[in-house]
């Protein structure tokens, strides 16, 4: 980098700041190392290690199948209930972990904010990347289950990466809002677990979105995870294509991401003083 390029003027900033994606690209290695740290530390000093990434969703699936599938007789549109719920639990668990990690990413790493300069957006970004590994591990199990249940993937399986991206955007967008709010309002720490409990009920994890009345579907689709999860069922299990839910999901995720980023950038100038 030339000296000319690295001229910096430090002064008080006012109003909205641009997202400054160039600075993020400049620091991409730091994003990688922080995400890698979260992965490396995650299962230290545990007996089962990364197996937890499999144990957790599998046990959830068993519980869902027994209570919702068998006892409550919740329909799964002709798909075996275990794989119907497991396909939804994967993106949901990723979203839930990513959201709680990222909303705590600033408050939990005050020491970094107070002592080192780097684009502050890096903290929530790296914290939504780390849980992707667990998702990847559990996804292999899902493929195994598809073989077991004899379900052939549809050609739409190539869209799975796209669905993952939408899911990451939804988690990051919400995480940006909550992590920035968390600096000023520690109430966020109490809201997030509660919010996720409500959110999973409002998301078609244990039931299909076809249970929702058509008139309410556009409102239901404002939950970006609804489109993502029905999208997974479509791409992997051959369920109906959720056109409305998925398009709403993409739009809402993008809005969350951009507004979250802008709000975060506006709030970040006080992080070191308040945190």
Partner 1 sequence: MSDLAVRVDNLGKRYHIGQRAHYNTVRESFSNLFTAPIARLRGRPISRPPSTHFRSNTFWALRNVSFELRQGELLGIIGRNGAGKSTLLKILSRITEPTEGTADIRGRVRSLLEVGTGFHPELTGRENIYLNGAILGMRRAEITRKFDEIVAFAEVERFIDTPVKWYSSGMYTRLAFSVAAHLEPEVLIVDEVLAVGDIAFQQRCLGKMEEVSAGGRTVFFVSHMMFAVTRLCKRVMLIDGGQVLADGPADGVVDQYMELIGGDGSGARTWAVPDSSHDGAVRLCSVRVRLESGQVADEVDLRYPVAIEMQYDVLDPGLNLVPSYQFFNQQGTCLFVSADSGRASRPSGVGHYTSTCWIPANLLAEGKLYASAMVSSVDPYVVHIAAHHAVGFDVKNPVATDPHRAGYTGEYPGIVRPQLEWTTTVASLPSSAHALVQPLRADR
Q: Which residues of this chain interact with partner 1, rule CB under 8 A?
A: 1, 3, 6-13, 29-30, 32-34, 36-37, 40-41, 44-45, 111-118, 184-187, 269-270, 272-274
| Nearest CB to partner 1, comparing residues 120 and 233 | 120
Report, in Å, the least distance between residue 90 CB and partner 1: 27
Give the number of residues written for the chain.
275
| Nearest CB to partner 1, comparing residues 118 and 263 | 118
Can you tell me which residue has the tokens 């300069």? 117
| Nearest CB to partner 1, comparing residues 259 and 270 | 270
The DSSP 8-state label assigned to residue 214 in this structure reads: G
The tally of CA atoms less than 13 A away on the side-chain side of residue 72 is: 13
| H or E segment and range at residue 2 | none
Report, in Å, the least distance between residue 46 CB and partner 1: 11
Helix (H, G, I), strand (E, B) or coil at 203: coil
Report, in Å, the least distance between residue 191 CB and partner 1: 8
Burial class (CB in 10 A: 0-12, 13-18, 19+), 30: middle
| Nearest CB to partner 1, comparing residues 244 and 275 | 275
Closest CA to 128 of 172, 166, 180: 172
CB 252 within 8 A of CB 170: yes
State CA 69 to chain mean position distance.
26
Report, in Å, the least distance between residue 265 CB and partner 1: 13
The DSSP 8-state label assigned to residue 185 in this structure reads: -
Report, in Å, the least distance between residue 97 CB and partner 1: 19
| Nearest CB to partner 1, comparing residues 18 and 186 | 186
| Nearest CB to partner 1, comparing residues 40 and 55 | 40
Q: What is the DSSP string of 95-149?
A: HHHHHHHHHTTTGGGHHHHHH--S-TTHHHHHHHHTTHHHHHHHHHHHHHHHHHT
Report, in Å, the least distance between residue 4 CB and partner 1: 8
């Amino acid at each position: 980098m030339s000296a000319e390029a690295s001229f910096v003027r430090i002064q008080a900033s006012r109003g909205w700041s641009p997202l400054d994606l160039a600075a993020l690209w400049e620091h991409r290695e730091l994003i990688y190392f922080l995400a890698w740290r979260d992965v490396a530390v995650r299962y230290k000093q545990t007996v089962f290690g990364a197996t937890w990434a499999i144990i957790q969703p599998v046990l959830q699936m068993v519980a869902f199948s027994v209570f919702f599938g068998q006892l409550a007789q919740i329909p799964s549109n002709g798909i075996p209930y275990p794989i119907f719920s497991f396909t939804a639990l994967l993106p949901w668990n990723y979203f839930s972990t990513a959201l709680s990690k990222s909303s705590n990413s600033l408050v939990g790493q005050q020491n970094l904010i107070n002592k080192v300069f780097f684009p502050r957006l890096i903290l929530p970004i790296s914290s939504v990347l780390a849980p992707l590994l667990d998702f990847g591990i559990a996804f292999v199990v899902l493929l195994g289950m598809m073989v077991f249940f004899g379900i052939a993937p549809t050609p739409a399986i190539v869209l799975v990466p796209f669905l993952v991206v939408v899911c990451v955007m939804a988690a990051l967008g919400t995480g940006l809002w909550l992590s920035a709010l968390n600096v000023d309002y520690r109430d966020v720490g109490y809201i997030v677990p509660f919010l996720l409990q409500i959110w999973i009920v409002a998301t078609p994890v244990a039931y299909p979105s076809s249970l929702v009345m058509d008139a309410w579907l556009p409102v239901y689709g404002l939950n970006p995870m609804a489109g993502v999860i029905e999208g997974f069922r479509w791409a992997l299990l051959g369920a109906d294509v959720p056109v409305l839910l998925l398009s709403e999901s993409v739009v809402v995720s993008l809005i969350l991401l951009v507004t979250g980023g802008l709000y975060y950038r506006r709030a970040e100038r006080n992080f070191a003083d308040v945190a």
